[in-house]
Structures are given as C-alpha cells and as structure tokens.
Chain A
Amino acid sequence: KNQVEQSPQSLIILEGKNCTLQCNYTVSPFSNLRWYKQDTGRGPVSLTIMTFSENTKSNGRYTATLDADTKQSSLHITASQLSDSASYICVVINNNDMRFGAGTRLTVKP
C-alpha cells in the first residue's frame, strides 16, 4: 500500500475556478512535504515545500496546507488558468527517503 495517497485521481475545472487537491500520508516520521507540478512531457517542478512544523505555504496562486496531526496536506489553486493543466504530485520526505504520491491530473478548460 502506497504511503502517500492523493485524491482525486483526476479533476476537470473551468478556467477561473478554484480547486483543492488532497494528499493523505502514513509516512512517519517525516521532515518535509513538497508539492510538485508536472506538465505533460516534462519533469516535476517544485511548487512548495513545508517542514513538519509549518501549516501553510504559498507560491503565487498555489497555497499548500499541512496538518501533521491528521497527516493530511492540500494544495489549493486559486483563479485557475489553462496553464495549470498538469499533474500535481505530493511527496513526503523522511531524511533521504522520498515517497511520491501517484498524482492528481488537473485539466483546466476554457
């Protein structure tokens, strides 16, 4: 069983709308949690990184939250743009061990 579960698997929204992607993990302990954006045909690019003591981190229209007690993280995208269409991958890091979620495939339609 994967230690990092993401939901939904895929999501379609209209341009301009907001959305929230979920990440539940069982990795323990952990030192960092990172969200990556992966455009089709490209490698993942880091969006945010949080330590276990941080609750929220923003990067432009992207805001990640972390609840270490419930082992949940979310990525909120505000005012979506067509260029937000990509896979979003949650990664939980414990020392030198990175555990990847399967990702959420987001499609933003005009």
Chain B
Amino acid sequence: EAGVAQSPRYKIIEKRQSVAFWCNPISGHATLYWYQQILGQGPKLLIQFQNNGVVDDSQLPKDRFSAERLKGVDSTLKIQPAKLEDSAVYLCATARLGFYNEQFFGPGTRLTVL
C-alpha cells in the first residue's frame, strides 16, 4: 500500500512570497489533515478535511493560509504571503473515515522563509 505522498520535500522562499504544498492521500482515506510542526515542537493541526468538506479549520491563520481538497482526494495548502515564523515542516496525514486515531503521516515539506 502506497503511503501519503507530499511535495515538494523542501522549499526555500523569501518573506512575502507565496508557496503551495501538495498532498496525495492513501487510497480510500476520506479524512485528510494538514499539520504545522515548528522545530522542537509537536505537530499543530491547521485544517481537517472529510472528503472535500472542511471539518475543522479553527487553527488555520486564514489571513494568509488557505487549503482545498476539491475532489476529495489530493489537497493543497497555500501560504500567501509568507512570514518568517512560517518556517516549519508541513505534514499531511490521512485516515479512513471514522478512524481518526489511526492517522498515517506523509514525509512532510520543510519550508524555510528567509
């Protein structure tokens, strides 16, 4: 079974630029999560999708972050404009419907904002 795929693996941008991350879930996983993991900290949930609907985006800084999962499969997370404090690893995790405690994580995208 293929795992959660993310791209790019690394991205370096300057502040105020825009960036987008992509996530392809495990086949059949209806639930998809985006997490932000700052160095030395645990992952922090940004947004949760169930199929193509948003379940929880209460922690998403909506003035600069946006995410979509239009067809209920792949998802993109965008930051526009980026700030220095956005430097982190962005993790995508997916789970089968109802199995929220069995999340499978992708390798993450490491973002550096200069």
- What would 29 A/B residue contacts be, using CB atoms closer than 8 Å? A4-B42, A9-B40, A31-B101, A41-B107, A41-B108, A42-B107, A43-B4, A43-B91, A43-B93, A43-B108, A44-B43, A44-B105, A45-B105, A49-B102, A89-B42, A91-B42, A93-B100, A96-B55, A96-B56, A96-B100, A98-B45, A98-B100, A98-B101, A98-B103, A100-B42, A100-B44, A101-B42, A102-B40, A103-B41
At the interface, yes or no: A76 with Cβ under 8 Å from chain B? no
At the interface, yes or no: A57 with Cβ under 8 Å from chain B? no
At the interface, yes or no: B25 with Cβ under 8 Å from chain A? no
Q: How many residues of B contact A (CB 8 A)?
A: 21
Given A42-B107, A43-B91, A43-B107, A49 contacting B43 (CB threshold 8 A): no
Complex CA–CA separation, A34 to B43 (angstroms): 14
